[in-house]
Amino acid sequence: MNIQIVRPGELGDSERARWRELQKADPNLDNPFLSVEFAVAMDRLRDYVRVAVITDGNGIQGFFPYERHAFGIGKPLGGFLTTCHGLISIPELKLDAKALLRACKLTVFDFDHLVAGQPTFAPYETDVRPAPVMDFTAGFEAWLEQVKSNSPKNLKTVRYKERKLGREQGELRFEWASADPEVLRTLLAWKSDQYRRTGRVDRFAQPWIVELTDMMHAENSPDFGGVLTMLYAGDVPVAGHFGLRTATTLVGWFPAYDTEFARYSPGIVHHLQMAEAAAKAGLHMVDMGKGGKEYKDWLKSGVLYVAEGRISRPSPTAAVHWIGRTPFNKARTIVMDRPSLYRAADRVLKGFGRVRTSMQQQEESPNGVVKEPTGAS
């Protein structure tokens, strides 16, 4: 095997076509974060993006997109922004993983959402986790029956809130694949507010992530595109989502809602309507990503599997990286996979978010007096 390192933007038309061909040939690679379009977009915005082009006497056998950071620290393409990574290759391709790292000039490669079972990386998987999906291959009604079977009470409650929202706030209207950039701005503002309220880092405080989202929103080809959805009550937007899709799979990315309508559970109402619209649009699946919220267990009708692990070459950098990252990764996995711990951690983060918001309000108030938000209990 010959391994050549280039930037994704340097790939020619034939190489990009081969990437798409390999991706379509393996159902396990049917994820937009593994698409060449995403790699090229990341390359336009980040200097550390690279791709290993793997060839033999028969031509290109695979692509390995990655990020190369200082001291040879390797990260999956998109890092914390993405929910799937790995080799885009012929299914049986098995490389010496450490030789791959050497060719990529990496000392270590840490992964947490790798396509499980890839022969090159399988020996280094330390954990494999399920990622819940909404599967529409048997039709939307079959999926809805599965949701009802998962929890009849939840479905009944959400349908009641859906009717109540329409009755009290205006007739509901769902928009699939909105091209309006102002709708995207509304959604991202909600998401930024959610990050702050819940004690998380606001990803959209980083201009390059906003630019990436705008770029993905503008993409719309048969094999890849950004999908912006929005639920309206009357003319008022109440909940939405922005994600990426292949020809058959939509991946959850940025869901958010207007907290003024929180009593109606607009986020879940939106997800039910998004599922129906996705099925009508010909998509086979919505990948909701591993771990996190309990609603995923209720809405799921199947699972995919992603792996966590680490590959390293002997070096002081790899040793320091292990000390700094491994305990954190293990702790995160434990919390994400245990609902009771996740809820507890979520409450703590929300508490920090409230304290931080209060402090910011106090700093901004001319007399140091913080007013209680309208509608607060």
Where residue 8 falls among pLDDT bands split at 50, 70, 90? Answer: very high
Kindly tell me if the per-residue pLDDT of 231 is higher than 50: yes
Per the structure block, which two tokens stand in for 23?
């991706």
CATH number of 2-130+306-313: 3.40.630
Please give the biggest Cα pair distance in the chain.
Answer: 74
Kindly tell me if the per-residue pLDDT of 134 is higher than 60: yes
Angle at 137 between CA 251 and CA 26, to 5 degrees: 65
Kindly tell me if the per-residue pLDDT of 314 is higher than 80: no
Q: Work out the mean pLDDT of the chain and round it to a whole number.
A: 88
Q: Which of 75, 113, 86, 109 is nearest to 23 (CA)?
A: 86
Helix ranges (H only) for 122-220 are 140-150, 152-169, 181-197, 207-218
Per the structure block, which two tokens stand in for 315?
């070096």
Report the percentage of the chain scoring pLDDT > 90. Answer: 81
Q: Is 100 helix (H, G, I), strand (E, B) or coil?
A: helix
Where residue 324 falls among pLDDT bands split at 50, 70, 90? Answer: low
Cβ count within 10 A of residue 147: 19
Q: Which of 85, 48, 260, 266 is nearest to 158 (CA)?
A: 266
pLDDT value, residue 151: 94
Distance CA 104, CA 102 (A): 5
- Select from 3.40.50, 2.40.30, 3.30.1300, 3.40.630 the CATH code of 138-283: 3.40.630
**Residue 129 or 341, more confident:** 129
- The residues pairing with 376 across neighbouring beta strands, listed in sequence order, are none
Q: Which of 269, 282, 284 is nearest to 229 (CA)?
A: 269
Domain with CATH 3.40.630 in the chain: 2-130+306-313, 138-283
Over range 269-293, report the average pLDDT.
Answer: 94
